[in-house]
């Protein structure tokens, strides 16, 4: 097999596509923000923990450290525009929620708001730990509430047809999954 060499500085490109999330947080002044995040994974079931890599330069970094809370929104495919906008603009310069004309409602448990239109599944989180990780900080957070739009899960498994996921392919490109499902026998 002939391999194609890739610079290790480009290694993240080899891991795409990533599911795309919008993460809300709120500052002491009560102004809420949304950041687009692709580097987010579950890391524990009991207790329920997830990890998310955020650059310290992001406006959201300060809001999350200050409030200790955030809400993860799993973004549907039809919200690619909002995801790119929130991933290209900073809350330092623009009120992204207002500019996009989005409504937000209070979180059930946390102070950060929920923006129903840009999410199909919602995870309210409380920051537990901050781990230095090169040019990003890894936030480890406990999921303190989780809920979905009706029909998101079918028999406990995601119904892709009900809510096609937004996958980040790279740069400004997004995709979604094919609806073909396999269930291999092993
Ligand atoms: C698809 C996509 C995924 C992104 N994933 C991350 C990520 O995982 N971590 C991060 O720090 N920034 C990520 N970004 C960049 C931030 O979303 C971007 O810098 C944003 O403008 C920061 O907003 P804020 O300054 O209001 O917090 C991503 C951007 C896009 C478009």
Cα of 74 to ligand 1 centre, how many Å? 15
Separation between Cα atoms, residue 68 and residue 125, nearest integer Å: 9
Pocket mutation for ligand 1, best pick of 32, 35, 167 (most atoms within 8 Å of C-beta) = 35
Residue 13 falls within a domain, yes or no?
Answer: no
pLDDT digits (tens, 9 = 90+) for 60-88: 999 999 999 999 999 999 999 999 999 99
168 lines ligand 1 (CB under 6 A): yes
Q: Which residues on neighbouring strands pair with residue 129, listed in sequence order?
A: 140
Residue 79 falls within a domain, yes or no?
Answer: yes
Residue 121 falls within a domain, yes or no?
Answer: yes
pLDDT digits (tens, 9 = 90+) for 114-171: 999 999 999 999 999 999 999 999 999 999 999 999 999 999 999 999 999 999 999 9
Residue 49 falls within a domain, yes or no?
Answer: yes
Residue 61 falls within a domain, yes or no?
Answer: yes
Cα of 126 to ligand 1 centre, how many Å? 20
Q: What is the CATH number of the domain that holds 143?
A: 2.30.110.10
Q: Which residues on neighbouring strands pair with residue 72, listed in sequence order?
A: 23, 123
What angle is formed at CA 10 by the lines to CA 175 and CA 16, rounded to 5 degrees?
20
55 lines ligand 1 (CB under 6 A): yes
Domain that holds residue 147: 18-175
Residue 62 falls within a domain, yes or no?
Answer: yes
The helix/strand/coil state of 10 is helix
Taking the whole predicted model, whether its pTM rises above 0.85 is answered as: yes
Number of domains in the chain: 1
């Amino acid at each position: 097999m002939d391999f194609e060499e890739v610079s290790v500085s480009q290694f993240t490109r080899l891991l795409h596509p990533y599911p795309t999330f919008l993460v809300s947080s709120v500052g002491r002044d009560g102004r809420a923000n949304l950041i687009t995040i692709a580097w987010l994974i579950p890391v524990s079931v009991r207790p329920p923990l997830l990890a998310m890599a955020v650059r310290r330069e992001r406006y959201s970094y300060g809001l999350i450290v200050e409030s200790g809370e955030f809400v993860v929104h799993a973004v549907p495919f039809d919200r690619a525009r909002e995801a790119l906008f929130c991933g290209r603009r900073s809350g330092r310069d623009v009120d992204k929620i207002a500019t996009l004309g989005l409504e937000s409602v209070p979180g059930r448990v946390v102070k950060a708001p929920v923006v129903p239109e840009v999410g199909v599944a919602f995870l309210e989180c409380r920051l537990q730990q901050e781990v230095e990780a090169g040019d990003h900080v890894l936030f480890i957070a406990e999921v303190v509430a989780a809920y979905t739009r009706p029909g998101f899960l079918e028999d406990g498994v995601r119904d892709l047809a009900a809510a096609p996921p937004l996958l980040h392919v790279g740069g400004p490109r997004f995709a979604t999954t094919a609806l073909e499902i396999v269930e291999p026998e092993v």
